[in-house]
Chains A and B, each alone.
Chain A
Amino acid sequence: MEFWKDPLKAAADWLAGILVGWGLASQVSQVIIAFLGVLILISLLMVLDIFLVWVERKTVARFQDRLGPNRLGPFGLIQPFADIIKLLIKEDTTPGGADKWVYNLAPVLSMMSVLMIWAIIPLAPTVVGVDLNVGILYLIAAGAIGTLSIIMAGWSSNNKFAMIGAFREVAILVSFEIPMLTILLIPTVLSGTMGINGIIESQSLWYVFLSPLGALIFLIAAIAELGRAPFDMGEAESELVAGYNIEYSGMKFGMFYAGELLHAFTFGGFWAIFFFGGYRFFGLEKVHPFLAVAVLIFKAMLGYWVIMWVKYTLMRIRIDHMLALNWKFLTPLAFILLMATALTNAILKNSSILIYWAGMFIVNIIIAFVALEIARRVSTAQRARLEGRKGAAAA
């Protein structure tokens, strides 16, 4: 029964018993088991990443009324392996005048920034790398390393397009971090903790019902952080060729690509964790840890699907519009929403759950309505001014 309840802990204890039996100190055996756990998690993530390539290609094909990969294996499932073989046997080029060390380090850091995040994701109540009490800040910190990898790639490639792409991408990443961090404070306020596991545990009512506007802003900021369309300014194909990773070939490009896919999936997972209850699904997570993992993966897939949906539906926004959207709309909106949520939470905390939910929901709706109305007025006035000027020039 012990084994059934928590197979991973049982396996770890069993392994620790064997290692100590071999004469190792218990501290050393703990370190070995931790490394083994990291190795297993990363291997599973890489396998998942290969699967994600297939998912992405199939989905984009459906959006564009195509079939997608369908030749190799059932439903084209073997196709990603063929892609990997292609990437591996491609020539590994380094452009002349490139800064070798920085150039080779950038894809590694890019991949690392994504894998680091998985250390704090609770797959199930007990299946979690570390339950940091600063989990949300850790998420932003890992993103900072991703930002660094992009500017390293852009600078070291010795290519103007790569440089411009990196500049734009970093400008977006640094500015969209602000509404994202502000919105992440809403689950913190509602749950009273910054630990990811604590946030999931306190969601008997999913936070998307308490803060639908927050969930929406988080999704927008997350897509911008991922650098995906409509915010894919960093690698705008039609103007910058491929942006910061233009000079990379073979597996180094593959690492950027795989990192981006896994990052998107990870943020789908975080959307699920912060606003859709994570691994919780009507008590299913208490039955067995592996069921909880399945629930979380399913929710993360749904989030990932929404991100893909946005990517393949919307067109790219111009860089100045994007930054204006962030600084003049999303950031103030996030600040106001955070203040209103904290205030409502403080007032209604002790009332019944229905009133609490209704109050939170109505506050969100009012703020969203007012913000959209202001944005509409401002943009109408701007358009009238621009078109007036154009009309005057024509006359």
Chain B
Amino acid sequence: MTISQIIFLVVAGFTLASALMVVTTRNLIHAALFLVATLFGVAVVYAILQAGFLAVVQVVIYIGAIAILFIFAVMLTRRDMRDRGPQMNRMQWIGALLALLIFIGLSFLLSSWDGYSAVAQEMPADFDTMGRLGEALVSPDAYLLPFEVASVLLLAALVGAVYVAYTRR
């Protein structure tokens, strides 16, 4: 086992453990904070994959905006800070079974794929990920249209969120 494999296993274990806490813990603020831990773990996985831009954007967008939004929403939607009643619905065992089956099915499906144990090629030393990403996002023969559509989507979501949550005085 090499050092990189050990690091990956530690990070993956941390990520999955906090993801499990997200879906099982009773206190919703704790669930949101465990979500932050999971997202941080995923950011480290991106860093291991040498996708530095994704790792940093993950922290900026998910932890800096989405997780904060979740915490705000949890605080705004409860009368008091205690949790009462069950947090899971009646189907929880069926749900667990279904999730487990899907995991087993996915693993089975993937293991029959012939590129399953491929290892990555060495990254070219002068590979400029940031430059490539920037060019791909704004060049018309690459991804300019999806980029613009995504920005229109964000604008629509912005206006929609304000409209839905706005209270008239």
Please report which residues of chain B, range 54-98, place their CB below 8 angstroms from some CB of chain A when the two chains form the complex: 56-57, 59-60, 63-65, 67-68, 71-72, 75, 81
Interface residue from A31, A137, A145, A167 paired with B53 (Cβ < 8 Å): A137
Minimal beta-carbon separation of B53 from chain A (angstroms): 5
Contact B59 A194 (CB under 8 A): no
Minimal beta-carbon separation of A178 from chain B (angstroms): 10
Contact B59 A144 (CB under 8 A): yes
- State whether the Cβ of B161 lies closer than 8 Å to any Cβ in chain A: no
Interface residue from B29, B33, B57, B68 paired with A147 (Cβ < 8 Å): B68
Residues of B within 8 A of A134 (CB): 52-53, 56, 130
Residue-wise, chain A 155-177 has the 8 Å CB interface mask toward B (1 for contact) of 10010000000010010001001
* Cα distance, A358 to B30, chains bound together (Å): 55
- State whether the Cβ of B24 lies closer than 8 Å to any Cβ in chain A: no
Residues of B within 8 A of A194 (CB): 130
Minimal beta-carbon separation of A188 from chain B (angstroms): 10
Contact A133 B52 (CB under 8 A): yes
Residue-wise, chain A 116-146 has the 8 Å CB interface mask toward B (1 for contact) of 0000000000000000111001101101110
**A174 and B53 in contact (CB under 8 A), knowing A133-B130, A145-B63?**
no
- State whether the Cβ of A152 lies closer than 8 Å to any Cβ in chain B: yes
Residues of B within 8 A of A144 (CB): 59-60, 63-65
- State whether the Cβ of A27 lies closer than 8 Å to any Cβ in chain B: yes
- State whether the Cβ of A148 lies closer than 8 Å to any Cβ in chain B: yes
Contact A141 B71 (CB under 8 A): no
Beta-carbon nearest neighbor of B29 in chain A: A155
- State whether the Cβ of B106 lies closer than 8 Å to any Cβ in chain A: no
**A174 and B64 in contact (CB under 8 A), knowing A141-B59, A155-B71?**
yes
- State whether the Cβ of A102 lies closer than 8 Å to any Cβ in chain B: yes
Residues of B within 8 A of A99 (CB): 29
Contact A155 B75 (CB under 8 A): yes
Beta-carbon nearest neighbor of B75 in chain A: A155
- State whether the Cβ of A16 lies closer than 8 Å to any Cβ in chain B: no
Residues of B within 8 A of A145 (CB): 59, 63
Beta-carbon nearest neighbor of B76 in chain A: A167
Beta-carbon nearest neighbor of B64 in chain A: A144
Beta-carbon nearest neighbor of A195 in chain B: B130
Minimal beta-carbon separation of B106 from chain A (angstroms): 31
**A148 and B130 in contact (CB under 8 A), knowing A137-B57, A140-B64, A155-B71?**
no
Contact A148 B53 (CB under 8 A): no
* Cα distance, A1 to B60, chains bound together (Å): 44
Interface residue from B3, B33, B53, B81 paired with A102 (Cβ < 8 Å): B33
- State whether the Cβ of B129 lies closer than 8 Å to any Cβ in chain A: yes
Minimal beta-carbon separation of B4 from chain A (angstroms): 10
* Cα distance, A148 to B60, chains bound together (Å): 11
* Cα distance, A148 to B81, chains bound together (Å): 19
Contact A174 B130 (CB under 8 A): no
**A170 and B68 in contact (CB under 8 A), knowing A27-B3, A133-B130, A134-B130?**
yes
Q: Which residues of B contact A (CB under 8 A)?
A: 3, 29-30, 33, 36, 52-53, 56-57, 59-60, 63-65, 67-68, 71-72, 75, 81, 128-130
Question: 9 extra interchain contacts, Cβ-Cβ under 8 A, other than A134-B52, A144-B59?
Answer: A27-B3, A137-B53, A140-B60, A141-B64, A155-B75, A158-B81, A174-B64, A177-B64, A194-B130
- Could you write out 9 A-B pairs with CB less than 8 Å apart? A133-B52, A133-B129, A134-B52, A134-B53, A137-B53, A137-B60, A141-B64, A144-B59, A147-B64
Q: Which residues of A contact B (CB under 8 A)?
A: 27, 31, 99, 102, 132-134, 137-138, 140-141, 143-145, 147-148, 151-152, 155, 158, 167, 170, 174, 177, 194
